[in-house]
Amino acid sequence: MSEVLEHCTEVLHTLPEGVTLVAVSKTHPSAMIEEAYTLGLRDFGENKVQELVSKARELPADIRWHMIGHLQTNKVRQIAPFVHMIHSVDSLHLLECIDKEGRRAGRRLRCLLQVHVAQESEKFGLYPSELRELLPTLDVPSLTGLELRGLMAVATNTNDGAQVEGEFATAQTLFEEVRQSGRAGLEHFDTLCMGMSHDYTLALRHGATMVRIGTTIFGQRDYGRTN
Ligand SMILES: *Cc1c(COP(=O)(O)O)cnc(C)c1O
C-alpha cells in the first residue's frame, strides 16, 4: 500500500461518523490526489486559484474542490463554474462578488465565513465582533448566487493545546449562535470547518464537522519546488 493510502486510511479511522475530511493537496501533484481518490476521497482543498483550476481540469469531474486560501475578488469567476465550497469568505465585498459570480454561473456557491480566532495578526478572517455586526445586516435570502453553509477557523500555530482549544471553543460558540439565530436563509448553516494536521483532534472536541488535513496525508510540502 502506498504511503498516501496508508495515511488516508489512518486519518479516516480517527474521524467520527459525519465529519467530512477535506484532503489538502496544495503543492502536491495530481498523481497523489488520484491515489487518495481511489480510496474514495472526493473532497480536496487548494489555496491558490491557478493550481485549483489546473488540477480540476485534469482530474475526475466528481471531485469536490474546496477553495481554502485567501481569495481575491478578481479570481472568483475562474472557480465559480465548478468549485464545491469557498472556505475563506472574510469580507462583505468578497461575499457580494461571490453572489454575483454564482448567479452568473447559474449556481449557488457554498460559502463558509472565515472567522479570525487566532492570536496571530497575519491570519485572515472576520473577527468575532465583525461577524456579529455583519450577519444582521445581510439579507441572506436575496443572496441567490451563494449559500451560507457555516464557519471556518484556523487556530494559532502553537504547541499550547489550551490556547488552541480556547480558539476552537470561540469558533464553536459563534457557530452555535448563528445556528440558533433562526435567521431566514441560514437553514443549511451546518458546517464548522476547523482543524489541520497538528490540531484536528482538538477541533473535533469542539464540534468540528469538517477538517482540512494536508501534511498527515500527503507528507511535507516542498514550497521551493512549486511556489
Ligand atoms: C495548508 C492548509 C491546511 C492543511 O495544513 P496541514 O498542516 O498540512 O494539515 C489547512 N487549512 C488551511 C487554510 C491551509 O492553508
Question: Smallest Cα–Cα separation from 195: which of 214, 222, 173, 219?
Answer: 214
With a 6 Å cutoff on the Cβ, whether 125 touches ligand 1 is: no
CA distances from 4 to 44, 52, 130, 209, 222 (A): 14, 20, 39, 23, 16
pLDDT at 14: 93
* Ligand 1 atom 11 nearest Cα: 212
CA angle 124, 128, 131 (to 5 degrees): 85
Q: How far is the CA of 158 from the centre of ligand 1 (A)?
A: 14
With a 6 Å cutoff on the Cβ, whether 154 touches ligand 1 is: yes
Question: Smallest Cα–Cα separation from 20: which of 64, 53, 83?
Answer: 64
- Please state, in angstroms and rounded to a whole number, the distance separating the CA atoms of residues 194 and 213: 10
Ligand 1 pocket test: pick from 113, 212, 220 the residue with the most ligand atoms within 8 Å of its Cβ: 212
Q: Which three cell numbers stand for residue 112?
A: 463558509
With a 6 Å cutoff on the Cβ, whether 91 touches ligand 1 is: no
Q: How far is the CA of 25 from the centre of ligand 1 (A)?
A: 9
Q: What is the pLDDT of residues 135-164, one digit of tens each?
A: 999 999 999 999 999 999 999 999 999 999
CA distances from 59 to 33, 51, 158 (A): 8, 12, 35
Q: How far is the CA of 214 from the centre of ligand 1 (A)?
A: 6
Q: What is the pLDDT of residues 79-88, one digit of tens each?
A: 999 999 999 9
- Mean pLDDT throughout 201-219? 97
DSSP E strand stretches across the chain: 20-24, 43-46, 64-67, 85-89, 109-115, 146-153, 191-194, 210-213
Q: How far is the CA of 221 from the centre of ligand 1 (A)?
A: 10
With a 6 Å cutoff on the Cβ, whether 113 touches ligand 1 is: no
CA angle 88, 91, 94 (to 5 degrees): 75
- Please state, in angstroms and rounded to a whole number, the distance separating the CA atoms of residues 145 and 30: 30
Amino acid at 132: R
With a 6 Å cutoff on the Cβ, whether 41 touches ligand 1 is: no
Q: What is the pLDDT of residues 60-69, one digit of tens each?
A: 999 999 999 9
Q: How confident is the model at residue 121 (pLDDT cuts 50, 70, 90)?
A: confident
